[in-house]
Amino acid sequence: MLRYLTAGESHGPALTAILDGVPSGLPLTEALIAQDLVRRQAPLGAGGRMAIETDRAQILSGVMEGVTTGAPVALMIENADHANWKGREIPPYTAPRPGHVDLAAATKYGYTDLRPGFERASARETAARVAVGAICRALLRQFGIEVAGNVAQIADETDPSRFETRIEAARAAGETLGGIIGVTASGVPVGLGSCMQADRRLDARLAAAAMGLQAIKGVEIGDAFANAARPGTEAHDAILPGLARPTNRCGGIEGGISNGQPVVLRLAMKPIPTTLAPQRTVNLATGEATETRYERSDVCPVPRAVVAAEAVIAFVLADALLENLGGDSLAALLVRFRQLPATPPPPAAEPHLFW
């Protein structure tokens, strides 16, 4: 079982993460993790925070001489911006932003100052998840599995050559933009996930992980929404001699189990609520109508969120792979991986008896 926890606030001293279940024998360095953290700091659409931070994950445990030991891997990413906030007298934040965690968290936890909620809910936390995902990506690559994402759409624009123009226009207007992220995992073997229980279905696990990312409000696997408008004979992937498939409308998963085709997802990200242009709200301290107060933020986090999406998808696939193979060392896992069938078995010669 692979599992992780993150901790830390957006402007606290550091973000931390513990990843448990990593097999022994996996080559792992801070430089390898840094590659994904650098990608997460892509400048397109980013706010001023990225000019302050130079994210690097320090490995605190679970790795010796550049190789995992099988113990939990503990990571820490310092927040450089913490020094700019430490010791400052900051007035209470009492005007919740529509669409943000502010009001819901204050109601749930009894906050009179909204900061504790949005400090933890901030997408700054994804730096820790990207670090975790980098480890999972390194594990998957040992088995020939690659996870790659891209920006498929910014607002209603699908032409990549116009993305920057749309983002800068939104910046000038004090607006924010969302978009659609595509993630594809290639080399995924047949048999990850299960049809036996709902919480073990690979598509359910991937969707839950994707929806756990800040501002992600929709997930599509394969051609899900287009398939909803097609008749059944046009919505599925024919099976040809040799078990080849001419299409991949199912996105590489049938009945909750990977079928050997690329696993394909699309994630819908809403425009983030922190806008320079004010929005109507209420001051919780007085009950009076007011406008939102701007907090430094991205204009369009979609390009940076691609790496976070890759990370959570890599985690789920790594977890499902370890579940399928069993074993506590990379050497043992590789032996078992080579024994997996390359394709599904042919139909049985005799029909099954169902009751």
Residue 353 counted as domain residue: no
Instruction: Report the alpha-carbon distance of residue 192 to residue 2 in Å, rounded.
Output: 14
Question: Per-residue pLDDT averaged across 239-245, rounded?
Answer: 88
Is 197 or 347 the better-scoring residue by pLDDT?
197
The 10s digit of each residue's pLDDT in 150-171 is: 999 999 999 999 999 999 999 9
Tell me the C-alpha distance between 138 and 183, whole Å. Answer: 17
Secondary structure (H, E, C), 80-111: CCHHHHCCCCCCCCCCCCCCCCHHHHHHHHCC
pLDDT average, residue stretch 77-86: 87
Average pLDDT over the chain reads: 93
Higher pLDDT, 320 or 350: 320
Task: Reply yes or no on whether the pLDDT at 255 is more than 70.
Answer: yes
* Helix residue ranges, H only, the chain: 30-40, 82-85, 102-109, 115-121, 126-141, 163-172, 202-211, 224-227, 232-235, 302-325, 330-337
The string of pLDDT tens digits covering residues 189-231 is: 999 999 999 999 999 999 999 999 999 999 999 999 999 999 9
The answer to whether residue 94 sits within a structural domain is: yes
Among candidates 323, 337, 312, 269, which has minimal Cα distance to 131? Answer: 312
Is 48's pLDDT higher than 90? no
> The CATH number of the domain where 199 resides is what?
3.60.150.10
**pLDDT greater than 70 at residue 115:** yes
Lowest mean pLDDT of 76-85, 110-119, 174-183, 210-219, name the range.
76-85
Residue 280 has pLDDT above 70, yes or no: yes
Among candidates 124, 121, 117, 18, which has minimal Cα distance to 81?
Answer: 124
Q: What does pTM read for this prediction? A: 0.94
Host domain of residue 215 = 3-337
Overall domain count for the chain: 1
- pLDDT digit string, tens, across residues 304-316: 999 999 999 999 9
Average pLDDT over residues 251-274: 96
Task: Say which residue the tokens 């369009």 belong to.
Answer: 300
For residue 348, what pLDDT is reported?
Answer: 54
pLDDT band of 87, cuts 50, 70, 90: confident
Show Cβ contacts of residue 353 under 8 Å, excluding neighbours closer than 6 positions: none
Q: Is residue 41 part of a domain?
A: yes
Is residue 69 assigned to a domain? yes
In a domain, 138, yes or no: yes
Q: What is the mean pLDDT of residues 250-277?
A: 96
347 belongs to a structural domain: no
Q: Is residue 345 part of a domain?
A: no
